[in-house]
Amino acid sequence: MRVLIAGAAGQLGRALQASVPAGVTIIAPPEGDFDITSAAAVAATIAAAAPNL
């Protein structure tokens, strides 16, 4: 399973990454590469990452 975590460098993102079970691939866009305020950027990131969740 592939999981996309926006804000993975933040407190919640780090906690989520630490609790992921084996077999789960974390996709964490680098800070600054993911503009959560832009619908087009969000759609492009999701399309490129192809996460299951």
pLDDT at 3: 94
> What tokens were used for 33?
């590469």
Write down the pTM of the prediction: 0.77
Question: Which of the residues in the chain have pLDDT under 70?
Answer: none
Provide the pLDDT for residue 35: 86
Q: What is the CA radius of gyration of the chain?
A: 11
User: So what's the pLDDT on residue 5?
Assistant: 93
How far is Cα 46 from Cα 38, in angstroms, rounded to an integer? 12
Predicted confidence at residue 22, as pLDDT, reads 93
| pLDDT at residue 49, as a whole number | 92
In the prediction, which pLDDT does 15 show? 95
